[in-house]
A and B are shown apart, each in its own frame.
Chain A
């Protein structure tokens, strides 16, 4: 590891979100949701909206920075940047903001994502248009068109190699629903899920039941990133960025069926780099937010971050272990993509920051170190660690 590092040079100082809705439920368009989340994050941080001078996002965010800067009346826009890829880019967007403030490009960067599914793009609808070509061309003619189906192919192989059963997938799904019951922001607040209902829910694509797949929602989330130095004088306890990483494993080409390490979530080398930068081990992590587009991908991701060996997953990946307040590793403590809101994972950053600030609705006692992992399997991917 080179000595040069972003460790502890920047912090998340504010978190904000719009109200979260079922798909089609938002009274304002996606652009309005983005503005609401950014305004709320600035208010939470105790800064003026016009103090924001940078914007960072990911996953082909459609609300582009000049319109946002104009709409929000920002005095200056000094940094704007988008991380490549889809849900794999969440932590990378935060890392880009951290680098920007640490290097002096900007003072306060709002990292955000807005999504009103269908207004610009509907992720679950996959790739079937006439423009489909290239790698998707090798699967779409056979009806393999969506992220759920493509990732199920990887998960099935992983389950075969490591003797994973449906129980591990169910635990991830039920953990998200459990945590959503404490979070009034969550779309599934007041709608608990039982194992029986999980088992009886329809298949989307084997091995994914309905409840193994994330929701489609309207919502936006944002955080404010600034330097560690400025963070100390602001209203909230800073969530310091302890480490961040982005990239992909050897020839882990997005949408390819010929990835050398196919039954993988693409986190083997990224997790090693992340822990090296943070100077910690998996046992030091108090709480994890791991992008739960599909439960099975989270199962692989937990193993690839060293929380257990892949062959120990059936013992580790249980509802008891993954749930607040008594679990060994509380997972997706605001309800995640499955039960809080699918903002392509941005809302998981808000929750990771809340955990080290101490104001989560499922607050892990004395949480010091909080991990956020972006969309598994999608590449390039990214992850980060926060500390208080």
Chain B
């Protein structure tokens, strides 16, 4: 798994609220794992079904016995957008920027969103392999999961 961080430069200015786990705690472990530079997805302890985004029960067997499974930071671009009109407006200096939806073959092609690092105007190909980059925001105590084209 790629463990290096993207350095001091963040992909987007810190104009957005930090990741905000659901108040009921159902997705807290995902965000905690990112701080350890790990990607985890929800895994049902009863039937082994992998599930994202996290929920209080397994949609396959309806068990509430939830666990987590670590997956490698390797995926494929499933879809993407290039954003030119920023919301909130404070993101304007960062425009255009790219958000990719990455599918994780190791986890039944579950999908996770992130930014695609590099030239924001680069041509983007659906299906392109990407690898994870952990963007630590140490002062604010959170880590974002970013992606770059696989080397």
Contact = CB atoms under 8 A, between A and B. Distances in A.
A146 interface: yes
Given A137-B22, A138-B112, A143-B91, A149 B83 contact: yes
Interface residues of B, number: 39
Interface in B15-47: 16-23, 27
Nearest to B81: A152
B45 to A, nearest CB: 20
Nearest to A250: B59
Contacts of B112: 138, 257
A142 B79 contact: no
B130 interface: no
Nearest to B91: A143
A61 to B, nearest CB: 23
B67 interface: no
Interface string A118-147: 000000111011111111011111111110
A251 B59 contact: yes
Contacts of A126: 87
A157 B94 CA distance: 24
Contacts of A131: 20
B115 A142 contact: yes
Tier of interface size on chain A: 35 or more
Contacts of B48: none
Contacts of B101: 153, 157, 257
Contact of B81 (A133, A138, A205, A262): A205
B16 A139 contact: no
Nearest to A133: B20
Interface of B: 12, 16-23, 27, 51-53, 59, 78-88, 91, 94, 96-97, 99, 101, 110-115, 126, 144
